Amino acid sequence: MPDCRRTGRTLALALALVPAASVAQIAPSEAEVSRYTGLLAAAAAGNAAEIERLLGSGADREARDGNARTPLHVAVYRRQYDAARLLLAKGANANALDRQRYDVVTIAAVADDVPMLRLVLGGGASAKNVTSPYDGTALIAAAHLGHVEVVRTLIAAGAPLDHVNNLGWTALMESIVLGDGGRRHTETLRLLVAAGANVNIADRSGVTPLAHARDRGYREMAEILEKAGARPAAARPARNQPDVVAGLTTQEEES
């Protein structure tokens, strides 16, 4: 049986951190954009002709701003599709990380920007990158947020289904412990299970996804897990692992 006091405490702390999660990724501010020059300015404005001209003149397509964002990062953050497409076609690094260790796939995933996500994946970006200060993936971030079409797209692109971040959670686990049990998170869970995600990877306290779903009263999620062979308790309780609660007190979440 899971320790309800512990799982309840974990949930409370996790929910308290969700608003903070939105600032873990740092998009360029308008003040920053106003100071951009060269390729960074052209990418922010979506000026494809200027990007073409600058690259033809030898501009560095991997130029970095103060937060280590490349022109491609900037174009993706600002939903400049033509600029992103051109930068990728001209050889921009599709898997570069900014100072917070975010790539363009995770940025598009968190923004629920499916057209941009498909664009960068088609341009050489990988759905398998380990990103963020939490050693997560774009799939974990999308599952946390319940971005169903993003999750579907990332699964199709070969995102690792069972990657465990440094909070001790998989994408499947995050859809439960950071979800709300509603339609979006339930469909996210359904997609992950259908794709073959392991339904029995417990958290660092040894609490399984099924135990978390039952503890929260997420009946439909619990039924999905049960049909997939989920166990209510871990086969082997986690040992010598720091309690996930300790990590949550000092860390934000993926997105």
- Supply the pLDDT for residue 237: 45
Domains and CATH numbers, the chain: 1-24+133-255 (1.25.40.20), 26-127 (1.25.40.20)
Spans of the chain below 50 pLDDT? 1-6, 10, 14-23, 237-254
User: What is the distance between the alpha carbons of residues 249 and 251, in angstroms, rounded to a whole number?
Assistant: 6
Nearest Cα residue to 242 out of 202, 201, 204, 212: 204
Whole-angstrom Cα Rg for the chain: 20
- Supply the pLDDT for residue 176: 98
- Supply the pLDDT for residue 233: 84
pTM, two decimals, is: 0.86
- Supply the pLDDT for residue 235: 56
Structure tokens at 104: 């363009």
Q: 3-class DSSP state for residue 74? A: helix
3-state helix, strand, coil in the chain (%, to 5): 50, 0, 45
Q: Quickly count: other Cβ atoms within 10 Å of residue 158's Cβ.
A: 11
Burial status of residue 149 (CB atoms within 10 A of its CB: 0-12, 13-18, 19 or more) = middle
- Supply the pLDDT for residue 253: 47
User: What is the distance between the alpha carbons of residues 68 and 148, in angstroms, rounded to a whole number?
Assistant: 29
The mean of the pLDDT values for the chain is: 88
**What residue type is 154 in one-letter code?**
L
> H helices within 136-233, ranges in order?
138-145, 148-156, 171-177, 183-195, 209-216, 219-227
**Per-residue pLDDT reduced to its tens digit, 33-84:** 999 999 999 999 999 999 999 999 999 999 999 999 999 999 999 999 999 9
Q: Quickly count: other Cβ atoms within 10 Å of residue 115's Cβ.
A: 10
Contact 142, 109 (CB under 8 A): yes
- Supply the pLDDT for residue 19: 40
